[in-house]
Structure 1
């Protein structure tokens, strides 16, 4: 059942809910929480309601969707109530706010909260800068965001870490539950060796990949690399280095993963990408602060980021080429220093000229030419030859 209430007030919405409860039975007695969804009006609102309806089958709740409309319009509140088959196991109240009322979502939400029930706020798309300081965020025991929907998911995740408060969580973290469970199970099998390092590969715009790398860094206290992948979806693979060999969890197609470890047969496990509905159901199971998520956010700076395999290889070649060139010059300089020890009078300039001469390269990359004798040296050579001739003649006469 869908009931539209155009140009209404929150008090009229409450009265209508009471009428529905009296006519249709105890509609709201079995609700365990109030789920507030904050988004813009349009198709995004319907997608969020669809996910909330599916989640309500496990967590019966009152869903209050605050859809922000055009801010240049006149102040107006349009409401819609959905119960029965159109609301799953919950009751849905849609509040479309227009004009200046679009910024008063908290004031419209308070009269519709279930008494003595926890409040969960969910921003499926655009998120306030500090969810805990948002007017609706202050009312909530739990604040759910989704870094994946941001323009720059990884930077959004780093911002979440900077403004984190107890009760904050993100669906990018919830998507890791299956990965964390499989990796923990693999480490429980013998041989029980210490992990030396880890590598997590995934799409560049995957915040879950970055969170998984940070979780491994804080849980194992080992160096972790986050490698960018151009193929696959989300997280592609995880490699744990141990003395006996590698533990590899590879999911190239986003559906089925292969777990490989020394001394064990390869195992194929279902590891599909989790939907928003599944993640929302899991988040509504607990309303206390997530300490592991908080520790993972703090470990984000520990993750070493690296480019894709191709680009990483090219950069490695470039670095090795530079280092080889530097080592060649250094070795030449060392040989020159050993064979020709410059005197104190020549100084540092003479040493530099000797290194350049021995390398055969002058400034600008041009090869050095043979040194031309100066006029003074030519005159000195002529006088020396003259003296040698005279000495030779004298020696002939004496003999």
Structure 2
């Protein structure tokens, strides 16, 4: 059931919820949390659908702050969804217009469930520092999605600077199946050290960047991040060890192929995770995701350092110079000037002598 309440107030919406509870038997005592979705009005339905499906695992009150146009008179249009249109939750949609667009926290505050944790989710256009946002400051868990930004890789670097306990990103959540398969593969003999790894994925895939960082941090070996055409997502991981390469690759049919030395190839299910699965997983825990934080702070910089070193070595080879892992460190002198002795021509004899 969907009930529209145009040009209303939060008090009127609360009163309508009480009436529905008394007349229709709707209860909110079983709700375990409040989920606040902050999005634009044009893309709110996909987020609502994902929250409704996830609510069967985590019954909650869903408050959607749908931001409309900033021009015109301030106005709040409310909508209540219950029953089959709300999954196992109750959905309150707050469409804000005019100056109210910038005051979403004040509008939704009276509608929060008492003594229940709050989860904030920005499907698109998240704040620069989620924990300092008025809505993010009220939440124990803050969910963003770097894949929705125009510059996903730059967005991840910004996440490292703005991270606060409770922050997470759906680009990281999408890697759960990949991480599980790779970990289980390395639990099988032979137990050899991984000497290097290559992670291949789309140029606009932040999940590929995060997986490369996770492997660099956990395996403590050089990891190369290779970019393919945009939109392809995660594609393959190659782990190199003495007995041969382990390759986990996924095709467009969401079926993965695992290749290991001296073993027949195995076909594994590795589907692309939808919003429903990712949101449901994030709602299972409300504590800080320490592994995600470590990948941002330690893992991604390790991959970037390895890529810069490879670029320097390639450039030196192209110039016809010996490949070096890094320029020589000197006491402020130019490395090239210290690699060969300086020579000067004697004015008297015309011979060449080494300068001391």
> Could you say which TM-score interval applies, normalised by the shorter chain?
0.7 to 0.9
Give CA deviations for 1:260-285 in whole Å, capped at 9, x if unaligned. 11233211101121111110111011
- TM-score, scaled to structure 1: 0.78
Segments of structure 2 that go 5 or more residues without pairing to the other structure are 324-339
For 2:333, the equivalent position in structure 1 comes to none
Structure label with greater radius of gyration: 1
Q: Quick check: 1:237–1:252 contact (8 Å CA) kept in 2? A: no
For 2:328, the equivalent position in structure 1 comes to none
Q: Quick check: 2:59–2:89 contact (8 Å CA) kept in 1? A: yes
Give CA deviations for 1:64-107 in whole Å, capped at 9, x if unaligned. 00011111121111100000011111100000111111111111
SS state of the match for residue 272, structure 1?
coil
Deviation at 1:325, TM superposition (A): 10
Moved over 6 A (4+): none
Q: C-alpha distance in 2, partners of 1:218/1:14?
A: 49
Q: Quick check: 2:204–2:231 contact (8 Å CA) kept in 1? A: no
Deviation at 1:108, TM superposition (A): 1.0
Deviation at 1:192, TM superposition (A): 0.7
Q: Quick check: 2:204–2:230 contact (8 Å CA) kept in 1? A: no
Q: C-alpha distance in 1, partners of 2:50/2:348?
A: 81
Deviation at 1:231, TM superposition (A): 7.7
Using a 3 Å threshold, how does the CA distance of structure 1 residues 101 and 324 change in structure 2: closer, same or farther? closer
Q: Quick check: 1:144–1:170 contact (8 Å CA) kept in 2? A: yes
Q: C-alpha distance in 2, partners of 1:32/1:227?
A: 42
Q: C-alpha distance in 2, partners of 1:275/1:192?
A: 34
Deviation at 1:27, TM superposition (A): 2.3
SS state of the match for residue 320, structure 2?
helix
Using a 3 Å threshold, how does the CA distance of structure 1 residues 325 and 33 change in structure 2: closer, same or farther? closer
Using a 3 Å threshold, how does the CA distance of structure 1 residues 232 and 205 change in structure 2: closer, same or farther? closer
For 2:320, the equivalent position in structure 1 comes to 323
Give CA deviations for 1:290-334 in whole Å, capped at 9, x if unaligned. 111111111211114769xxxx99x95x754421699xxxxxxxx
Give CA deviations for 1:104-139 in whole Å, capped at 9, x if unaligned. 111111100111111000000110000000000010
For 2:346, the equivalent position in structure 1 comes to 344
- TM-score, scaled to structure 2: 0.87
Specify which structure has the higher proportion of strand: 2
1:1-399 equivalences under 5 Å are 1-42=1-42, 44-230=43-229, 233-253=232-252, 255-299=254-298, 300-304=300-304, 320-323=317-320, 344-345=346-347
Q: C-alpha distance in 2, partners of 1:276/1:185?
A: 25
Q: C-alpha distance in 2, partners of 1:79/1:36?
A: 15
Deviation at 1:47, TM superposition (A): 1.2
Segments of structure 1 that go 5 or more residues without pairing to the other structure are 327-336, 352-399
How many residues are paired up? 331
Which stretch shifts more, 194-203 or 165-174? 194-203
Give CA deviations for 1:362-397 in whole Å, capped at 9, x if unaligned. xxxxxxxxxxxxxxxxxxxxxxxxxxxxxxxxxxxx
Q: Quick check: 1:20–1:27 contact (8 Å CA) kept in 2? A: no
